[in-house]
Chains A and B, each alone.
Chain A
């Protein structure tokens, strides 16, 4: 009855006796008999879960649900923690979180965090269930002596089996066999373990080692380049926004070119922007008059940087005449007093009304710090100095406009005063965005008038230059 294994020469060990049954009822009956006869190490095999077999062979309820429950509870903390870390705080840890306000919701708002937490719980629990089940079942197990029994192939089809293991105390080769027959077994097979089964095939070892070495190559290659510098441009798998097909204004279409594309021009005349059509009228103000607009002599106009005048547009953007000035950036250097105009510009006409307006503008914009008389004691200055004295603020006192250096026409020509108002100096901020060109000159005129009358006077003196 018992089928002999084909290779008897190999070393074999008897695992147990496998009895075949034709229907689930007989199997359950046989299992009950076996348990009552004192067998403990046994297992039943069936194409589908047989109802009532668990008590028959004494299977205790699995702990799997508890494992899953504990993982699920952990996932609550994980899910909420992840969101708190990522969106709820921004401590300077190596990977800091990122706090940002969106749609007026609290930074860490529980209702909005429920869905993701829920998904994380389900995902973790599903993994716990799936992998927990296989681990508890000690699967995958690809080498199993049962698969050597040809009859056992029917276990996934329509037959039912009971295995009495030889390791069981009650097991007795012939006794057990007759018992199984008595319980209704249709046929009985010996299950033998071929001890060479557990050895890996030799080719597998070679392939494994070779594969491991090959797998090590890419990380090794990457690691060998760690911290190295390279003169070649970075490899761009995806161009993304690094190489956009666009050109910056007033350039010779420079960034349209790269090694891959060759130089490309937007227009035939090598420009990146189109020229205005004939007869086009410029909008905004034309600030080619450097004396008026910048307080700088026209000989020195090239020193004007492109950010020179925010109110009237970028210097040079009007085109033809100042093409060269716009693109050249002068690095910070020793201030050249020479470049400032020493007299009021030609296009600025000084009248009593202008001076009145200068006073009015001065009292709006300047007096707050410099004081109505220009003594450097405006209200803001007084308050800030008081705060600074108690350590409540840091403050550089506003200059008195009556200082010798400030009054000195050689050291501080009108062009420089104009420049100070325009671009600011030291702590003083630029006023070009607030005060139009002519008003700035009017303020300059009023400042000169103040300096002439001295600090004692509280009524401005008009002096026509």
Chain B
């Protein structure tokens, strides 16, 4: 393996005459494999990993304990009240499902647009997608109250129930959309991983590793005939996942927008939600990958160029979200509908004004820092910006859900929503679930799509 020249790690310069190399440090095919497998092949994980895992698991246990508390005591332990029946659980759901969009977007849409820089980040982003969807699914799952009859959500012909779900309800569309999304993302992720699991199989030194990775790799040999069908299938899945990923957040936005609640019923919601989802998803990918590339020693593969590109997308989608805020405000005024105008006035200057301005500053103002090259190419700084973006996107969902519910048509049904400690604990705990899964993934699964990275390396490398 080549020694890393620190000078060669900056590939953020702009040169239209040449394509910037995406694999640095003079790595050849074997070097890519060695680098990508390095963390997995290490005999023991570094202390940092153990500390983070311990922290994540304790938060996960907090989540588990609180869910148990919820199940035994009922949804009254949350701050949900009348009229804010959708309290933090739905805010958290939309937040997580939004984060779960970047992975499939990177894998599918950037694949269709042949953006080669996706290759070294797509695997981690897909994994993040699936873990985020797991977190997302938890919240509506426990919000239904009687969790043990969750199967009523599905069209199962049963004699004793003699009933079917209401297919005209956006909440049911959500069940279909999120479960389809989780399934297809899982298939996509796993299929993409099979050639790399085969690498693990062939490099595994322990018997158990050989058996497990051997089973998971399905006997992959890298045959040209297999690759042929594999590539077609990959393109097809990408083509399917692209409208799917749009549809999921679109349908989440339908949950709000088909209603007549002022501030919810606006036609821009579908594309606006999708842009917001991509925005928050990329912010989360950057937040995760900057420390991960340090910890896992992947600086040659996940280069500054990759991070810079993601930051540009964050800035672009942030502007789209900002534009949507603007259009909403303009139309609220232009429509001449009293309630609509009030809803937006109330967002900015009502009793949740602080949430609104946190949202605007984190989502629209702070990402503008990425106009400066230093800001979008300095890892520690971009993480700070991206954490702000994540906070802002959580508040966006809070603002949408809570302000509109608490101030609808009738002043007599106005109320103020305040979360309880259980709400807070569950939000924090969901991060425990997310990070536990992600840390385990980093240690035991191929974090880099090695086969794809090798495929885009310049041919005259040898």
Q: Are A98 and B163 in contact (CB under 8 A)?
A: yes
Given contacts A140-B219, A144-B221, is CB(A119)–CB(B180) below 8 Å? Answer: yes
Closest Cβ of chain B to A183, distance in Å, is: 16
Complex alpha-carbon distance, A134 and B254, angstroms: 36
Stretch at the interface among B6-14, B227-235, B336-344, B431-439: B227-235
Decide if B169 is an interface residue (CB 8 Å cutoff): yes
Q: Cβ of B424: which chain A residues have Cβ within 8 Å of it? A: none
Task: Report Cα–Cα, A25/B241, bound state, in Å.
Answer: 33
Task: Report yes or no: A44 in contact with B177, Cβ–Cβ below 8 A.
Answer: no
Q: Is the CB of B221 within 8 A of A142?
A: no
Whether B176 is near chain A, meaning CB under 8 Å from some CB there, is: yes
Assembled-state Cα–Cα distance A261/B462 (Å) = 78
Contact with B along A11-32 (1 / 0, CB 8 A): 0000000000011110000010
| Contact (Cβ within 8 A) B224 A129 | no
In whole Å, how far is B108's beta carbon from the nearest beta carbon of chain A?
11
Closest to A49 in B: B227
Q: Are B247 and A133 in contact (CB under 8 A)?
A: no
Contact flag A116-B236 (CB < 8 Å), given A130-B187, A130-B191, A157-B33: no
Contact partners of B146 in chain A: CB under 8 A: 238, 240
* Residue in A118, A140, A157 whose beta carbon sits within 8 Å of that of B218 in the complex: A140
Which residues of A sit under 8 angstroms from B267, Cβ to Cβ? none
A118 touches B219 (CB 8 A): no
Judging by beta carbons under 8 Å apart, are A64 and B232 in contact? Answer: yes
A112 touches B (CB below 8 Å): yes
**B180 x A115 contact (CB < 8 A):** no
Q: A115-B173, A133-B229 are in contact. Are A155 and B164 (CB under 8 A)?
A: no
Q: Looking at the complex, which one of A25, A112, A140, A141 makes contact with B459 (CB distance below 8 Å)?
A: A25
Please, which residues of chain A bring their CB within 8 A of the CB of B15? none
A98 and B164: CB pair below 8 A? yes
Instruction: Find chain A residues with CB under 8 A from B169 CB.
Output: 102
Binds B, one of A53-61, A197-205, A279-287, A389-397: A53-61
> Contact: A54 with B233, CB < 8 Å?
no
Once A82-B155, A113-B168, A139-B218 are accepted as A-B contacts, the answer to whether A157 and B203 lie under 8 Å apart by CB is yes
* Also in contact, A133 and B30, with CB within 8 A (given A47-B222, A54-B224): no
Chain B window 127-148, contacts with chain A (Cβ cutoff 8 Å), 1 for yes, 0 for no: 0000000000000000000101
Given A86-B155, A87-B164, answer yes or no on A49-B455 (Cβ-Cβ < 8 Å): yes
**Chain A residues with CB under 8 A of B41:** none
Neighbour of A142 across the interface among B30, B215, B230, CB < 8 A: B215
Q: B155, A48: Cβ atoms under 8 Å?
A: no
Which residues in window 99-132 of A have CB below 8 A to B? 100, 102-103, 105, 109, 112-113, 115-116, 118-120, 122-123, 125-127, 129-130, 132
Complex contacts, A86 vs chain B, CB 8 Å:
155, 164-165, 167
Give the nearest-CB partner of B173 in chain A.
Answer: A115
Does A157 lie within 8 Å of B162, measured CB to CB? Answer: no
B131 nearest CB across to chain A (Å): 20
Known: A116-B172, A129-B240, A240-B146. A158 touches B28 (CB 8 A): yes
B184 at interface by CB-CB < 8 Å? yes
Range of interface residues on A (Cβ < 8 Å): 35 or more
Asked if residues A64 and B173 are in contact (CB atoms below 8 Å), the reply is no
| A/B pair count, beta carbons within 8 Å | 208
Give the chain A neighbours of B227 by CB distance below 8 A: 46, 48-50, 53
Residues of A within 8 A of B303 (CB): none
A436 interfacial contact with B, CB 8 Å: no
- B202 contacts which of A112, A123, A142, A157 (Cβ < 8 Å)? A157
Q: Is the C-beta of B214 less than 8 angstroms from some C-beta in chain A?
A: yes
B167, A87: Cβ atoms under 8 Å?
yes
Smallest Cβ distance from B189 to chain A, in angstroms? 11
Residue of B nearest to A133 (CB): B233
Nearest Cβ distance between residue B389 and chain A, in whole angstroms?
29
A134 CB to nearest chain B CB (Å): 7
Query: What are the interface flags for A139-162 relative to B under an 8 Å C-beta threshold, 1 for contact and 0 otherwise?
Result: 111111011000011111110000
Task: Kindly supply a per-residue 1/0 record for chain B positions 64-104, scoring 1 wherever the CB is within 8 Å of any chain A CB and 0 otherwise.
Answer: 00000000000000000000000000000000000000000
Task: Check if A137 sits within 8 Å of B254, measured CB to CB.
Answer: no
Residue of B30, B240, B451 touching A48 (CB-CB under 8 A):
B451
A44-78 vs B, CB cutoff 8 Å, 1 = contact: the mask equals 11111110011001010110110010000000000
Q: Is A223 an interface residue (CB 8 A)?
A: no
Question: A44 and B224: CB pair below 8 A?
Answer: yes
In the docked arrangement, what's the CA distance between A464 and B287, Å? 98
Known: A65-B232, A86-B167, A119-B247. A157 touches B221 (CB 8 A): no
Bound CA span A129–B108, Å: 15
B222 touching A156, Cβ below 8 Å: yes
- Asked whether B187 lies within 8 Å of A126 as measured between CB atoms, the reply is yes
Specify the chain B residue showing the minimal Cβ separation from A116: B176
For A142, list chain B residues within 8 Å (CB).
214-215, 218-219
- Residues of B close to A157: CB separation below 8 A: 29-30, 33, 199, 202-203
Task: For the complex, give the distance between the alpha carbons of A381 and B218 in Å.
Answer: 83
Q: Verify if A430 is at the interface (C-beta below 8 Å from B).
A: no
Q: Known: A24-B459, A102-B168, A115-B173. Contact between A126 and B226, CB under 8 A?
A: no
Cα distance A24–B170 when bound, in Å? Answer: 51
A23–B231 CA distance with the chains assembled, in angstroms: 20
Closest B residue to A24 by beta carbon equals B459
**Closest partner residue, chain A, to B216 (CB atom):** A140
B351 part of interface (Cβ distance < 8 Å):
no
Closest Cβ–Cβ distance, residue B156 to chain A (whole Å): 9
Task: Give A97's nearest chain B residue, CB to CB.
Answer: B164
Residues of B165-223 whose CB lies within 8 A of A = 165-170, 172-173, 176-177, 180, 183-184, 187-188, 191, 195-196, 198-199, 201-203, 214-215, 218-223
Give the CA-CA distance A238 to B164 in the complex, in Å.
Answer: 22
C-alpha spacing A116/B251, complex, angstroms = 10
Closest to A159 in B: B29
Let me know if B233 and A122 touch, CB within 8 A: no
Q: Are B202 and A105 in contact (CB under 8 A)?
A: no
A-B contact pairs, 14 of them (CB 8 A): A49-B230, A59-B224, A62-B228, A62-B232, A86-B167, A94-B159, A95-B159, A119-B173, A125-B236, A141-B219, A142-B215, A146-B221, A153-B202, A156-B199
In the complex, given contacts A47-B451, A157-B30, what are 11 additional A-B residue pairs having Cβ atoms less than 8 angstroms apart? Answer: A31-B224, A95-B159, A105-B168, A116-B176, A119-B180, A122-B244, A122-B247, A123-B180, A139-B226, A156-B195, A157-B199
